[in-house]
Amino acid sequence: MTHLPTDWPDDVDGDMFRRMGESGFDFSEAVEIEFIVDFDSWPPPESFLRALHSLYPRIQLHNPDEDGDGYVIFLVHGLLTYELAMSVQSTVSELAAPFGGVCDSWGAMQPPSRTGSWTPSADGKWLGASFTYEGFPLALRVRPAADSDRNRARFPQLVRITHQLASVSDNGLPETGYNRSLAGFDQDALDLFEQRDEGLIVLIETFAGKRTYYGFALASAPAERRLQELKQRYPEHDISVQASADPEWQFLSRYKEDFPW
């Protein structure tokens, strides 16, 4: 699920919830809280991950980026008050403390509302749809056939290529002409791992001025090297890559829960 595009204040005495309510955030709908657990060393111990999973099954690991920061994310439904969110944060911090970890931040999200049905691409390989998320359009393309037992077994690494769009409308989507000009880049991003049989892109998300290509790759796939190759071909584009272990393809499973296809 994509984060809210708005910057909220720190969650001091429930101020985050108050400000979100004032801005029109509908707390009568389902709310999901995303918590972040930071560790002094990486990776976090398996014993901690098992204990956390027993409490909150929806977990993602974000391996250290170029700055050396790695963290664990977990999501919880139905925490509609500041006190409940802080209680979860305290519980998990106590659980993580013996391993040098702390649950030190969180933020609220809301499931999106659908504004259209899935439409197949001309070649039948992709489905596309538009959604509304907190009043902003969210455009998705997904590749259902890529989710196979064979691919899940071969590609345990989640890869995210993020493109900061240079020309966007007020609603965060790319300007029409600019979007058309990205056709070549789009295809090369799709081929980045697949042409070497190192992985494949399974989902593309366009929201709040960014387009993100989500894929799965071999554990040995050199994500940073492939990004540099893409940057050399398109030096005018602001792009970055993140890679993290996701052998169960939890990211895609979670996305499919929010946007069934």
In the chain, which residues have pLDDT < 70? 1-17, 20-21, 23-30, 65-69, 78-80, 109-116, 134-135
**pTM of model > 0.75:** no
pLDDT at 93: 93
pLDDT at 1: 35
Give the domain 15-109 fold: Alpha-Beta Plaits (3.30.70)
pLDDT at 5: 35
Query: Taking the domains of the chain in order of start, what are their residue ranges?
Result: 15-109, 113-258
pLDDT at 40: 82
Distance CA 100, CA 38 (A): 8
Q: Give the β-pairing of 210-217 and 157-164.
A: antiparallel
Residue 73, classified by CB atoms within 10 Å of its CB into exposed (0-12), middle (13-18) or buried (19+), is middle
pLDDT at 25: 64
Of 40, 20, 37, 38, residue with least CA distance to 29: 20
